[in-house]
Amino acid sequence: MTDLHWWQLLALAFVGLVSGFLNILAGGGSLLTLPLLIFLGLPAAQANGTNRVAILVQNMFALKSFHNSGVLSWRLALSCACPAVVGAVIGAHLAVKIDEQLFKQVLAGVMVLVLIVTTFDPAKRYRDKFATGFLSRSVLLMTGFFMVGIYGGFIQAGVGFLILSVTMMVGLDLVKGNVLKVVVVFILNVPALAIFAWNGQVDWLLGAVLATGNACGGAMAARLAVVKGHQWLRGVVTVVVLLCAVRLLLG
């Protein structure tokens, strides 16, 4: 690791706080942390691995807040996490030597997908349909979360947008989708982080500093998400996606 000044570590913790807040409410926080980690001297693959430390801690704190609020369905969350973990193992193996141009192309595609889904708002249109179509809903969830797992293990940045797209397509509102997202992202990043660590692609000091900020931001956002509800979250997701898309286009 490159020697860093105290103010650089403080800046990393602050960006982590903002990132954690965005990640739990919508997604895209890693679009802030990954470039900063690279700017601080980490190679892209190591920045990708180091970011997973903060993601795990952030989601652990948010998970506690959601659990206390009573909106968490463990049965649904764990059933979605299983295919996501399988996908994450595949994705993390691919990500050890990540191509940065491919990273930008895939992420830009995700931004377009999420903008379409949030504008269409399928949670409102399909809630009743999928409530009576358990099999089709289950197939879509399992398939969707397997693909989410591959992407999450490979890049992580923007995976929250993908998860919210899948959950809205089966009729879940954004409050329930956010809770599901927190559980799945936490679980899929356990094997992903292990693979990065095994390949020496984690800076534990920077990961710990970043995790401190992410945890604080994630806990605050989890409480806010439950209070504000679906329509407010829909607006937040749309704004964050637009900002992230602009950020990608500007490089």
Q: What rounded mean pLDDT belongs to the chain?
A: 80
Q: Has residue 194 got a pLDDT over 90?
A: yes
Q: Could you tell me the residue range of the domain that residue 31 belongs to?
A: 7-250
Contacts for 73 with CB less than 8 Å, ≥ 6 apart: 176, 179, 180
Per the CB < 8 A criterion, the answer to whether 19 and 30 are in contact is yes
For the chain, what is the domain count? Answer: 1
pLDDT in tens, 233-243: 667 667 766 77
Residue 2 belongs to a domain:
no
Sign of the torsion formed by the C-alpha atoms of 82, 87, 93 and 97: negative
- The answer to whether residue 1 sits within a structural domain is no
What confidence score (pLDDT) does residue 157 get? 77
Q: Which residues of 133-162 are buried (b: 16+ CB within 10 A; e: fewer)?
A: eeeebeeebeebbbebbbbbbbbbbbbbbb
In this predicted structure, which of 79-83, 204-208, 215-219, 228-232 has the lowest mean pLDDT?
Answer: 228-232
Task: Measure the CA–CA gap between 94 and 109, rounded to whole angstroms.
Answer: 19
Q: What is the dihedral of CA 112, 32, 216, 173, to 10 degrees?
A: 0
The answer on pLDDT for 117 being more than 70 is no
Q: Which amino acid is residue 8, in one-letter code?
A: Q
How high is the pLDDT of residue 49? 93
What is the percent of the chain with per-residue pLDDT over 90, rounded to a whole number? 27
Q: pTM of the full predicted structure? A: 0.79
- Cβ partners under 8 Å of residue 131, min gap 6: 171
Is 165 inside any structural domain? yes
